[in-house]
Amino acid sequence: MLSGTRDAVRRCLSPIRPAAHRRYVRERETVDDTILIVDDSPYIVDGLVALLKRRGFNPVATHGGDEALALLATTKPDLILLDIMMEPMDGWETLDRLKANPDTSGIPVLMFSAKKITPEEAEQHSLNIEDFVSKPVNPAQLLDAIKGIFTRRSNVRTEALEAKDAGHDAVLIDEYSALRKSIEVDTNLLCVLKKACDLNNPGREVPPEDLAAIQKLEAKIQVDEQRLKAINEKFARTT
């Protein structure tokens, strides 16, 4: 569904002006792709550290929410891998606390857990996460998710620069950027929820409340896509 989103935007917006492009490249060159791992299992943390190092990332290990929040006072990673099932502070509480702090609220978070995410959790936290990966972690799937997050954020930032240089309204640009993220995150969560509810099994009886939540998320994605299309069309008319 999202494969053509960026191409559609590029057809609507003017190319990046040379100055904007140079500014963007300089900013990206300062990023060293530091990834903070938050999990209370030393075995999983060690495995993720080894995997990420092999792929050229700079992993930083923590073994719980309290330790991670303390570290974030002095370290600003480019991405946080956050487990849900931790004690005494679980992943959702850790997420709420780091998003409530202006100094850490902008750091993207990828949640991962052996616990199946519920429709209620998806609805409550979708605005604060970038993706969700189930345990046991498949290395290829995790790396694809990490790459997808960095790529989307890079693309959205580039597109925002294009729109700004084209003279478009700043509020509309911010809305566009938020929609780009929201659509992709919600689409990923929808896939996770459908898998968790086993909707592909014809004999599976899905609780009415879960089915209603899935349908609500599908409707939200559709509304957001229509709004994104309208913004693209407005950009095209004013370019």
The 10s digit of each residue's pLDDT in 70-82 is 999 999 999 999 9
Evaluate the omega torsion of the peptide bond into residue 88 and state whether it is cis, within 30 degrees of 0.
Answer: yes
CA 193 to chain CA mean position, Å? 16
pLDDT winner (highest mean) among 33-37, 126-130, 165-169: 33-37
pLDDT for the residue 121: 83
pLDDT for the residue 229: 94
Answer whether 149's CB lies under 8 Å from 131's CB: yes
Evaluate the omega torsion of the peptide bond into residue 15 and state whether it is cis, within 30 degrees of 0.
Answer: no
- pLDDT tens digits, 161-185: 988 998 999 999 999 999 998 998 8
pTM: predicted TM-score of the whole model, two decimal places: 0.79
% pLDDT > 70, the chain: 85
